[in-house]
């Protein structure tokens, strides 16, 4: 679960912040007041939150938020989502990471809970045009060249057709293609606007999108240190020649949903952390490395292999079976990716 860190500077702001607790799906809302960060200072507090990839909501003036986040900006693909809301709860404004970071969507969720009006300034949203970065996020695609986003979006805003070529076998003909997008057969014979493939081909495109194909299934003893988990995960990825940008999800059993080391790794790397109940994992079909001790402890005979496949949904295959070390286990699965326009 992603964290939404809310900072307020007045009593009215503090009351608004408290109303959000437990009300935003998929976000753990943590509230801070100026007295709580007095010794740390707003700048250091902001640096800490953004380094952990938390979403931020400033209840106060836009200028305060802009000055606080300015030193810690990276780029549109890696920045934390940042929003601002006035202390009366009239408006909520996403000011950073609107699409890839999810700030626009989060503004709408907050607005629904507090009766605030989301002020969306992203051109493609305002003009109801195809947003290629949001499309990439919703389909689990890695944006290889971020400069291509602006080029494709500019064509959409000028009502020019966007040409797209998708690797064969990863798109259903029954799926409705949005207006303004034209599918080109794969591999394309000439330059296209958007190329989606896991293969290395010599074709020019304005924007290259690569599927995040891999799921890391992880189990660990309670309280396992973040540094040890990060090193262990890194070793497994290196063995399979998997890059961080190719990771679709981190997965485990429901009892690990708040395991701090796993949660922190997930947030820092921008990878969704998905957990499943013992009953769900037990239903996964296959031959697995099983442990009676694990069954007695969590209710299922194995976590890492089963959770990796469970997160893949249909068609997933293990490319690395269970590896254990120092109270940690990991398995890696490759998912069967498919492009869907219905979710944008």
- Second CATH level (architecture) for the domain 132-211: 3-Layer(aba) Sandwich (3.40)
Asked whether 252 and 229 are in contact (CB, 8 A), the reply is no
Asked whether 183 and 166 are in contact (CB, 8 A), the reply is yes
Q: Which pLDDT band, with edges at 50, 70 and 90, does 335 fall under?
A: very high
Class of domain 2-121: alpha beta
Q: Which pLDDT band, with edges at 50, 70 and 90, does 25 fall under?
A: confident
245/136 Cα distance (integer angstroms): 13
Domain ranges of the chain: 2-121, 132-211, 214-334
What's the chain's average pLDDT?
93
Give the three-state DSSP class for 66. helix
pTM of the model: 0.84
118/110 Cα distance (integer angstroms): 8
pLDDT (tens digit, 9 = 90+) per residue, 261-315? 999 999 889 899 999 999 999 999 888 887 787 888 888 889 999 999 999 988 8
Closest C-alpha to 127, from 152, 157, 104, 103: 157
**Of all residues in the chain, what percent carry a pLDDT higher than 90?**
83
Fold of 214-334: Nucleotidyltransferase; domain 5 (3.30.420)
211/167 Cα distance (integer angstroms): 10
């Amino acid at each position: 679960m992603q964290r939404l860190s809310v900072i307020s500077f007045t009593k009215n702001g503090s009351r608004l912040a408290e109303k959000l607790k437990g009300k935003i799906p998929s976000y753990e809302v943590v509230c801070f007041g100026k007295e709580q960060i007095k010794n740390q200072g707003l700048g250091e507090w902001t640096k800490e939150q953004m380094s952990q990839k938390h979403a931020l909501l400033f209840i106060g003036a836009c200028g305060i938020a802009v000055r606080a986040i300015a030193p810690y900006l990276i780029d549109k693909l890696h920045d934390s989502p940042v929003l601002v809301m006035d202390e009366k709860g009239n408006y909520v404004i996403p000011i950073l990471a609107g699409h890839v970071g999810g700030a626009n969507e989060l503004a709408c969720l907050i607005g629904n809970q507090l009766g605030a009006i989301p002020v969306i300034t992203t051109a493609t949203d305002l003009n109801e045009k195809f947003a290629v970065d949001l499309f990439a996020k919703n389909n689990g695609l890695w944006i290889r060249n971020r400069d291509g986003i602006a080029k494709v979006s500019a064509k959409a805003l000028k009502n020019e057709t966007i040409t797209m070529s998708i690797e064969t076998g990863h798109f259903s003909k029954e799926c409705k293609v949005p207006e303004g997008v034209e599918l080109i057969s794969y591999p394309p014979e000439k330059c296209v606007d958007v190329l989606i493939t896991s293969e290395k081909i010599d074709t020019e495109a304005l924007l290259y999108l690569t599927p995040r194909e891999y799921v890391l299934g992880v189990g660990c003893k309670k309280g396992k240190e973040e540094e040890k988990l990060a090193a262990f995960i890194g070793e497994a990825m290196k063995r399979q020649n998997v890059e961080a940008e190719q990771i679709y999800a981190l997965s485990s059993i429901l009892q690990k949903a708040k395991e701090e080391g796993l949660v922190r790794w997930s947030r820092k790397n921008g990878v969704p952390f998905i957990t499943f109940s013992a009953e769900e994992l037990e239903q996964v079909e296959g031959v697995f490395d099983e442990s009676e001790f694990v069954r007695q402890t969590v209710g299922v005979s194995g976590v890492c292999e089963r959770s990796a496949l469970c997160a893949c949904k249909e068609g997933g295959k293990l490319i690395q079976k269970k590896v254990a070390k120092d109270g940690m286990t990991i398995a890696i699965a490759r998912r069967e990716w498919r492009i869907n326009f219905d979710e944008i």
